[in-house]
A and B are shown apart, each in its own frame.
Chain A
Amino acid sequence: MLQCHVKGCNANNFPLELQEVVLEEQEAELNEDFLRNMLGKLEYEALVATCLKLNIQDLPPTIPEDAAYNDDFLQKLHHALLETHVITGKMVCPNCQHTYVIRDGIPNMLLAEHEV
Chain B
Amino acid sequence: MSNAKNPLHIPSPFQADNAVLTEGQQEQEHVHNVYQAIAPHFSATRYKPWPVVEEFLMTMPPGYVGADVGCGNGKYIGVNPRLFLIGSDRSSNLISICAERGHEAMVSDGLSLGYRSGLFDFAISIAVIHHFVSPERRLAAVEEILRIVRPSGRVLIFVWALEQSGKRDFDKNVQDVFVPWALPAKPAPKKEKSSKGRGRKAKRAPELTQEAEQEAEQEAEQETEQDSSTTSSVTTESTTKSLTTPPSTVVENADSSAPEAAPVFKRYYHLFRQGELEDLVMSTGKVKIEKQGYDRDNWWCIAEKTST
- The 8 Å CB contact of A32, one of B63, B83, B106, is B63
The stretch from A35-43, A50-58, A59-67 touching chain B is A35-43
Chain A interface residue number, banded: 20 to 34
Residues of A within 8 A of B86 (CB): 1
Interface centre among B82, B113, B116 (most CB of A within 10 A): B116
- The 8 Å CB contact of B114, one of A5, A29, A33, A38, is A5
Known: A1-B116, A1-B119, A31-B84. A116 touches B65 (CB 8 A): no
Known: A104-B96, A105-B99, A113-B24. A33 touches B61 (CB 8 A): yes
Residues of A within 8 A of B84 (CB): 31, 34
- The 8 Å CB contact of B112, one of A14, A35, A111, is A111
Q: Please tell me if B62 contacts chain A, counting CB pairs below 8 Å.
A: yes
A-B contact count (CB 8 A): 76
Q: Please tell me if A2 contacts chain B, counting CB pairs below 8 Å.
A: yes
Residues of B within 8 A of A108 (CB): 92, 106-107
Known: A41-B119, A107-B107, A113-B24. A100 touches B63 (CB 8 A): no
Q: Please tell me if A106 contacts chain B, counting CB pairs below 8 Å.
A: yes
Q: How far is the CA of A110 from the CA of B296 in the complex (A)?
A: 31
Q: Is the CB of B99 within 8 A of A106?
A: yes
User: What sequence of 0s and 1s flags, for each residue 19-36 of chain B, a beta carbon within 8 Å of any chain A beta carbon?
Assistant: 000101000000000000
Q: How far is the CA of A4 from the CA of B96 in the complex (A)?
A: 22
Residues of B within 8 A of A38 (CB): 65
Known: A1-B115, A34-B84. A110 touches B63 (CB 8 A): no
Smallest CB gap from A42: residue in B: B119
Q: How far is the CA of A73 from the CA of B5 in the complex (A)?
A: 66
Residues of B within 8 A of A32 (CB): 63
Residues of B within 8 A of A113 (CB): 22, 24
Residues of A within 8 A of B119 (CB): 1, 41
- Shortest distance from the beta carbon of A97 to any chain B beta carbon, whole Å: 15
Residues of A within 8 A of B81 (CB): 29
- The 8 Å CB contact of A14, one of B61, B106, B111, B116, is B116
Smallest CB gap from A107: residue in B: B106
B residues 86-101 touching A (CB-CB < 8 Å): 86, 88, 90, 92, 95-96, 99
Q: Please tell me if B121 contacts chain A, counting CB pairs below 8 Å.
A: yes
Count of B residues near A, CB < 8 Å?
A: 31
Instruction: Give A contacts to B, CB under 8 Å.
Output: 1-5, 14, 29, 31-38, 41, 100, 104-111, 113, 116
Q: How far is the CA of A14 from the CA of B119 in the complex (A)?
A: 13
Q: How far is the CA of A2 from the CA of B109 in the complex (A)?
A: 14
- The 8 Å CB contact of B116, one of A2, A31, A104, A116, is A2
**9 closest cross-chain pairs (CB), A and B:** A33-B63, A109-B114, A109-B108, A33-B62, A34-B63, A107-B106, A37-B63, A108-B107, A3-B116
Q: Please tell me if B50 contacts chain A, counting CB pairs below 8 Å.
A: no
Smallest CB gap from A33: residue in B: B63
Smallest CB gap from B107: residue in A: A108
- The 8 Å CB contact of B105, one of A14, A31, A106, is A106
- Shortest distance from the beta carbon of B30 to any chain A beta carbon, whole Å: 16
Interchain residue pairs with CB less than 8 A apart (10): A3-B114, A31-B82, A31-B84, A34-B64, A37-B121, A100-B114, A105-B99, A106-B107, A109-B109, A116-B109
Q: How far is the CA of A33 from the CA of B96 in the complex (A)?
A: 28
- Shortest distance from the beta carbon of B304 to any chain A beta carbon, whole Å: 18
- The 8 Å CB contact of B63, one of A36, A106, A111, is A36
- The 8 Å CB contact of B65, one of A37, A106, A107, is A37
Q: Is the CB of B65 within 8 A of A110?
A: no
- Shortest distance from the beta carbon of B122 to any chain A beta carbon, whole Å: 12
User: What sequence of 0s and 1s flags, for each residue 107-145 of chain B, a beta carbon within 8 Å of any chain A beta carbon?
Assistant: 111011111100101000000000000000000000000
